A and B are shown apart, each in its own frame.
Chain A
């Protein structure tokens, strides 16, 4: 018993070292811009950089749009598949898992080939088209996470009874989805949304290959040209990831609390 516990502690401590040292290194390096003292100089420079403000703002906006698009696509699908087309379930699940199997770089390569300037749908030809393509690309990347969290949420509520109850009160489909179903799976949707945000905000390959100057390519450019700022950027990115995961935990716990009180 004590031997087992000793080994467990050893595994956790060694793992902890491996996972905490890079974080320590990142924070340490980001604060060493001024010789001989710790300072927030790198952060100040990064935050004041107009390029940073512009690319970061763009990526945040795009992430939010991706979340909205993802909800619009995934929630009705998951709902109708559960309620009306249980036979489609394996197919839909298979499709939603594909982005985990097909490397993202291959998917974006396909976009460039299909939607180039000489195709029927020349999305890459215009500023708007490129942005739309990137948006749909990110929605594709987030599909596995979004679908799984929404579907898990739907499983915990009795959507058949809720739907029938709403129908008997005269609600139409749009109303059922927005007023009855969505609020009930809100927490699951949120956890999918925060995960999507964390993935999209620093994404590099799609943006770089579609020639969009978002936060990901900006970070790589900084990595190639500056010494201390990249670490500051990494700290910011890590903080965003933490915030997203923390919010997921918070909302999940909050929802458990509210259902327990019901």
Chain B
């Protein structure tokens, strides 16, 4: 393709050097605003205020308050990821395989596109308006069915309330990702299994689920990271009354709690490690699950 006949190494030919200018801004941008900041956190987690190498910061993570914050975060992320996958899968299966009218499928996909992006502060407001003390559903239940939601111990500012709110963007994300995968299941696979004597259940256990498995795992990891990093929703919903890892870090950065930036590094580092581990597990499982592709 290169027109010059000079026998320089390909990368040094004038045309190719010009091409490098095309991608250089991206790499400079990514280095300055994505990679360096992250590396700074990682390195900072292993240094003390004097710049010496230490594991002291990570040790502070084991203090009961921070440990419990991480634990709640993990529980919350895992629970909403698993439930998001489950319910999202059911809805996606209903609209792809359930014989529902086609326009309904398109409407649900469009709505999922909106809802998966309707996260953060407004979402929290919507749930407060719905399930808060004076919320729409709370009142509805009291006036129509005589059920006192808050009397039974429910509170929107709680683990359960937060999980319910997170599911509002977790489920649609799952629907968006898994619908194409479900549509990729070929009708002939099902028919071949049937003609070989398999029941619907056997087809799902032996063919459909193993084929979907990599996509399911990938979405699970993505939903976990998605929930784990969600700060705005939690802050707008609970203020800082529920102590989850990102809120603790938020307070740390703001300097509200104690002015120890290196503890902040450690918390941030631990968050990276957790999402990285989630994604690492996903990649590993995916490779195992996808032996049949490569």
Interface residues of A (CB under 8 A from B): 1, 4-5, 7-9, 11-12, 15, 18-19, 21-26, 28-30, 72-74, 76-77, 79-81, 84-85, 88, 92, 95, 98-114, 136-137, 139-140, 143, 173, 195, 198-199, 202-205, 208-209, 216, 219-220, 223-224, 230-231, 233-234, 237-238, 241-242, 244-246, 248-249
B108 at the interface (CB under 8 A from A): yes
Q: Do A99 and B130 touch across chains, with their CB atoms under 8 A apart?
A: no
A260 to chain B, nearest CB (A): 18
**Contact residues of A: prevailing secondary structure:** helix
Q: Contacts A5-B99, A103-B271 known; A204 to B118 CB distance under 8 Å?
A: no
**Pairwise interchain contact A105-B246, C-beta atoms closer than 8 A:** yes
Chain B contact patch, size range: 35 or more
How many residue pairs between the two chains, A and B, have CB atoms under 8 Å in the bound complex?
261
Nearest A residue to B36 via CB reads: A114
Chain B positions within 8 Å of A99 at CB level? 34
Cβ-based interface call for B82 (8 A): no
Min Cβ gap A202→B in Å is 5
Contacting pair A231 B235 (CB below 8 A): no
Whole-angstrom distance between the Cβ of B58 and the nearest chain A Cβ: 15
Chain A to chain B: the 3 pairs with minimum beta-carbon distance, closest first: A110-B37, A8-B98, A25-B130
**Can you add 19 more A-B contacts, CB < 8 Å, to A106-B272, A113-B37, A233-B122?**
A19-B115, A22-B127, A73-B26, A77-B25, A80-B23, A84-B22, A98-B35, A100-B226, A101-B276, A102-B34, A103-B275, A105-B246, A105-B253, A109-B249, A111-B37, A113-B41, A195-B117, A220-B235, A234-B125
Main secondary structure of the interface of B (DSSP, over half): helix
Pick from B30, B110, B127, B131 the residue with the most CB of A within 10 Å: B30
What residues of B have a CB within 8 angstroms of the CB of A4 in the complex? 97-99
User: Which of chain B's residues have a CB closer than 8 A to the CB of A143?
Assistant: 30, 34
Residue in A closest to B274 when the chains form the complex, CB atoms: A103
Determine how close the nearest CB of chain A comes to the CB of B136; give it in whole angstroms. Answer: 3
Q: Are B38 and A249 in contact (CB under 8 A)?
A: no
Q: Does B279 contact A (CB under 8 A)?
A: yes
**Are B228 and A114 in contact (CB-based, < 8 A)?**
no
